[in-house]
Amino acid sequence: EAGVAQSPRYKIIEKRQSVAFWCNPISGHATLYWYQQILGQGPKLLIQFQNNGVVDDSQLPKDRFSAERLKGVDSTLKIQPAKLEDSAVYLCASSLHRDPYEQYFGPGTRLTVT
Amino acid sequence: AQRVTQPEKLLSVFKGAPVELKCNYSYSGSPELFWYVQYSRQRLQLLLRHISRESIKGFTADLNKGETSFHLKKPFAQEEDSAMYYCALRTGGGNKLTFGTGTQLKVEL
């Protein structure tokens, strides 16, 4: 089966600019996750969707980050405006259902904010 | 609050030597622990979970609730085991994972 797809793979922007990431989960996977992985740290969950509804966004900095999953398939994560500390790899993952299925990860998008 | 600690950033062993990657957790509820692995230029993937009690690629991990640990072990390291290993804790009723900071395992010839 095809894996989780993400684009772009790399992005360099200046601080205060906006950026968007796209994720296409594995077909049929109801649950989608966005993680932020800062260099030297483990992935940190930003937001979790069940179909097109938000299950957990407790660690999403809502003043600048937003995410949506229209139609319960693809998802976009946006940062507006970006800060230097947003430099990280943004990982998307999906699982068949919410609990407790294995999460399958995408290749990630490496964001550099200058 | 839940927390996962991996004390070693880098672990270097010789081929054929035993490997133990340490993981400690703190969580007030009933924990579910996982090990994820990321080989060079590959995606993060599940290696094993404690509820399965299985051996994957020769690796095993036992949940020790008394010591709040879930160390990953392999009796004889292979070159292909070189990778980044993350311990993760699942909490609550959802599928939320809290990851440790990871340990880079380097197996030398």
Please tell me the distance in Å from B40's CA to the nearest CA on chain A. 12
With bands split at pLDDT 50, 70 and 90, how would you rate the model's confidence at A47? Answer: very high
For residue A72, the model assigns a pLDDT of 85
Q: What's the pLDDT tens digit per position in B16-47?
A: 999 999 999 999 888 899 999 999 999 999 99
Q: Percent helix, strand and coil across chain B, each rounded to 5?
A: 5, 50, 45
Chain B contact for A1, CB < 8 A?
no
Q: Does A100 sit within 8 Å of B95, measured CB to CB? A: yes
Of B43, B96, B102, the CB nearest to A105: B43
SS3 B88: strand
Q: How many residues does chain B have?
A: 109
d(CA B67, CA B99): 18
Cβ atoms within 10 Å of B95's Cβ, excluding its own:
24
Q: Is the pLDDT of residue A1 over 60?
A: no
Q: What is the mean pLDDT of the segment spanning A99-108? A: 84
For residue B93, the model assigns a pLDDT of 64
**Segment 57-76 of chain A within 8 Å of chain B by CB:** none
Which residues from A are below 8 Å from B97, CB to CB?
Answer: 43, 45, 103
Picking from A14, A42, A58, the residue whose alpha carbon sits closest to that of residue A105 is A42
